[in-house]
Chain A
């Protein structure tokens, strides 16, 4: 069940395969741009070996060795020069690889985004309406937005570099006196402690998610223009601030609850990483100085420095592990996203010329819904027919459109295109054979022409787009712009772009239909944002363009149903009536009632309406 899966997914204790996911992430990066991974390793190694080992241990050991032995000053200088050269080379490697890394990061971002887009297009529409999956998708995109693959590479590199430098340091200490390892090795226990701690922190953060979402939501309502007018003319701001306060209080409570445990973990972590190594080393060295006299000044300094070095390296490795396991959680989402198999699978057949469309005993229930949206619905549309789909809000009209465009597949029954189940057809071929205009039409921030034709267009094609824009009644406005049809829609990031009003936008998206060589037009309330004259003109153009073609449209304005060949009246997901305007009016059923109601206001007649239903 979708519901239980959702709960499981939100469970903070749910384990994701860290190693597998990290390898998956590294592989993805490797496939996109090898340089990023290589340079991350080189960069981290150069950086860490220099700061952890070379600068603090080796350098000190060599120089103090000479001083302890009361060696020659020229010997001292020779070694200094050697270190100078070595250090400069390492720094050069460090920063060169850093530069390459910074550039290839953006390249990987581009490459991965392209993969995500390609997958996104394949997704079922239901994915967008399923909060669980959508959440995953969002997290998957966050991986890219937050540069998480970059940090996975850095962290992986950092672990390798940390281990190399640890080996170098431990080797040096062993050469002095292996007994000191007794104090250095507990540092490795820090990993276990930090792992538990990070799990706890994760759990804590997870329990603050809802509150954080509230905080983010309130913030959004404050700064988005969409809410600005409602906010200014009512007292809703106070309501939202109450929510905000409650969310903060909730978070404070959660933070307090976790305080004791986190404090204890932190102290244990300090015990292993700090207290034992530092105090132990000092104590033992002191003991050796005072009693056994086995200690030299140079050995003492190097051992003390190596405590620092081990801490530093271990801390980096621990942090990197933590970073990786956090990233593993996110990459699980990316994996799920890429692994998603669309439920709406493409068939093989190419759509031929449209002959007929038939719903045969179709029932449909949205995933996770308790009731059917469509129940046992049958109707048929033949070539050249104009069919109006009529019904009150929520009757299931838009669902019918979603089914025939295969945004969803019917739960029961079948939908036949030219007598064959629509599932047998190639998805792209099926969808392009329809021309669809939606209630919630959208335009894109590309040029007006490109919005109409949906691809980059040559001069000849632009003429086609122009005709379509003329038909939808927006060409006059477009041609008056300095850049005409090449103007980019929205001012989001082009200063000479144009922001169109709701009605104008609708005309542009309708032009998309006009420019398309479709077999079957599906119009889902195409005129809702238009003024009466624009609406009238729009219908005139629609009649013109769809002449001889098949049209299915949904409209609340029944005036437009009058002229159609067939009217299908839907109520509660079921077929109520079907027939021509004249037939249905004669029948005196639901349609007749609705039509009479609406026309009464135009004809000035009083209607007695029982409002109960």
Chain B
């Protein structure tokens, strides 16, 4: 996650990415080279060489039939190049691009999936991360387009320049002087564009947020019940005004620079000085023919287009792309803080989990979230973690799962430091149902098994144990959510939670972590869940977090946490007898049931 100071050059970044595309599909890159040449070069050359040839033949006045050969050649080149271009585009390019997109994104996603959980807490890294993923398909599209046009323009530039050289070298000198004089402006324009975009992103983030509020379903009730929309609109307008101000600030400069550049090269150079010289040569010195005049003039125009592309556009886009790719490379190279151990952990029977002197501070925070935690969980024990909001209960389970690594102390399973085994095999020992669990837009079966293949009977049993009773049209192969399947099954909060809980019942593993499993459940479902947990999870170690102390009564051991520390522990009876925080909390809740 460290930032590399020594950024790569723009060129190195571009080459890096083109290589990536090349690796994914060599033919696509080669094809685009040729395509670029086919679409750009023939037209440009015909307007210079073709016209000159015909005019010169006419001027010579001999063997005029040569004109028909020329016309025939022009027709042949035109038809062939167009035919080949379209064939390539519709039959190869479209398809291959999709495949390259797949290849590159697959690598990216694999990388993303293995990122440390803490990456999501680091806004700077996270922003880059999103940018990298989102820009990846743009990168492909853009770079291919650039490569294509770059090659096409470069080759036609060289060819046309060669023709001009044979006509009169001074023409070329004039062209180069003007280009050299106004070229540096492009870089300045590119920098300004980049700055503007960065500034705008900042303001847009704010305006987008307020736009989202009006559009997201989850806010619609709140917005309707409270008269909060005027202030939201006002905040949006503030952000929009910032965008306008920013736009004004940059666009004035950018437009002026563009104007100076275009006036310099296109007008002063190619429409004044160059024709002045050519006119002098034709009319006064009579050193060149009218055919040369046309060729030189058309040539200058074609060079202007090429140069405009190669400098203004390509450089601006290249340098922006380059920066995107820089982020991409940074992301691909990002280091993991949570490192794999060497050994593979065995699933087997539950073993003793021991947490020793464990302390943890979230990156970027000053105060520790967990302070010197010590506890031992014996095999098959059902452990409850209770305590105030923000006491560190969820963080503790995150550390057990190695979503984060301890700042101090450690977690030991069967006496072995969890950092010594591979992350995958370690996490595979656990089934975890998080407070903010998510359902995926996959089938019910896949949602329970969280895997490609699943045992249907086992899934059904797990759903039964979690109390899921919703009738499904296609049984457990029914798709959930309507992300892309309009027939997908929507579930209520309680039903969703039952699906999530079923994951714990399904997974064949010795340890189960449940973070507030009954928050969305009604009393009957909660009661049934408690029972099912005792029965179906009898041969597992269970760690659960709960605010409803009715669920903790049957726990073998209860740990009460406050401000990152364990302040009490013991069975329900012991803690009640002790009359401490737990007893106080329990009585508060139980009071009205008596």
Contact = CB atoms under 8 A, between A and B. Distances in A.
A221 B237 contact: no
A262 interface: yes
A292 to B, nearest CB: 12
A239 B520 contact: no
A131 to B, nearest CB: 6
B158 interface: no
A317 to B, nearest CB: 19
B367 to A, nearest CB: 12
A203 interface: no
Please indicate which of the listed interface residues A6, A105, A223 has the most CB atoms of chain B within 10 Å of its own CB. A223
B78 interface: yes
Interface string B207-221: 101110111011111
Interface string B522-552: 1111111011000000000000000111110
Interface in A255-277: 255-256, 258-260, 262-263, 266-267, 270, 274-275
A113 B234 CA distance: 12
Contacts of B492: 393-394
B120 A562 contact: no
A118 B230 CA distance: 9
B198 interface: no
A116 to B, nearest CB: 7
A340 interface: no
B421 to A, nearest CB: 15
Contacts, number: 465
Nearest to A609: B527
Nearest to A129: B217
Contacts of B83: 267
Given A134-B217, A223-B130, A283-B71, A262 B90 contact: yes
Interface residues on B, range: 35 or more
B376 interface: no
A109 B240 contact: yes
B547 A279 contact: no
B290 A68 contact: yes
Given A492-B209, A536-B588, A438 B230 contact: no
Given A248-B102, A407-B221, A493-B205, A234 B503 contact: yes
A528 B519 contact: yes
Nearest to B272: A84
Contacts of B526: 556, 598
B425 interface: no
Please indicate which of the listed interface residues A6, A63, A298 has the most CB atoms of chain B within 10 Å of its own CB. A63
A64 B133 contact: no
Contact of B47 (A59, A214, A304, A394): A304
B523 A282 contact: no
B577 interface: no
B483 interface: yes
B9 interface: no
Interface string B64-89: 11011011001100110011001101
Given A83-B271, A222-B113, A230 B434 contact: yes
Contact of B283 (A71, A99, A263, A560): A71
B221 A263 contact: no
B226 A562 contact: no
A202 interface: no
A491 interface: yes
Contacts of A391: 522
A568 to B, nearest CB: 15
B313 interface: no
A235 interface: yes
B133 A219 contact: yes
B502 to A, nearest CB: 13
Majority secondary structure of chain B interface residues (helix, strand, loop or mixed): helix
Given A91-B263, A252-B99, A601-B551, A137 B215 contact: yes
Given A110-B240, A602-B590, A603-B593, A80 B272 contact: yes
Interface stretch (A188-196, A346-354, A444-452): A444-452
Nearest to B87: A263
B78 A274 contact: yes
Contacts of A227: 438, 440
Interface residues of A, number: 175
A278 B43 CA distance: 10
B95 A230 contact: no
Interface stretch (A318-326, A356-364, A429-437): A429-437
Contacts of A279: 71, 74-75, 78
Contacts of B241: 110
A566 interface: no
A214 B483 CA distance: 8
Contact of A528 (B275, B293, B520): B520
A595 interface: yes
Given A230-B434, A267-B86, A76 B279 contact: yes
Please indicate which of the listed interface residues A71, A252, A434 has the most CB atoms of chain B within 10 Å of its own CB. A252
B592 A559 contact: yes
B78 A275 contact: yes
Interface in A63-94: 63-64, 66-68, 70-73, 76-77, 80, 83-84, 87-88, 91-92, 94
B82 to A, nearest CB: 5
Interface in A219-247: 219, 221-223, 225-245
A442 B530 contact: no
Interface string B551-562: 101100000000
Interface in B440-457: 440-442, 446, 450-452
Given A217-B484, A234-B503, A67 B293 contact: yes
Contacts of A70: 283
B258 interface: yes
A481 interface: no
Contacts of A222: 108-109, 112-113, 133
Nearest to A392: B522
Interface stretch (B13-21, B161-169, B243-251, B320-328): B243-251
Contacts of B549: 532, 602
B451 A239 contact: yes
Nearest to A209: B484
Contact of B102 (A223, A244, A308): A244
Contact of B434 (A107, A229, A300): A229
A438 B221 contact: yes
Q: Which 3 pairs of residues, A with B, have the shortest CB-CB distance?
A: A393-B494, A599-B593, A601-B550
24 contacts: A60-B297, A63-B297, A67-B279, A84-B268, A107-B244, A113-B236, A121-B214, A229-B432, A244-B105, A270-B82, A282-B71, A283-B68, A298-B290, A300-B55, A304-B47, A308-B47, A405-B221, A528-B519, A533-B388, A533-B588, A536-B588, A597-B524, A599-B593, A602-B593
Given A128-B217, A239-B451, A289-B67, 9 more contacts: A6-B486, A76-B283, A87-B271, A94-B259, A113-B207, A120-B214, A236-B450, A267-B86, A393-B522
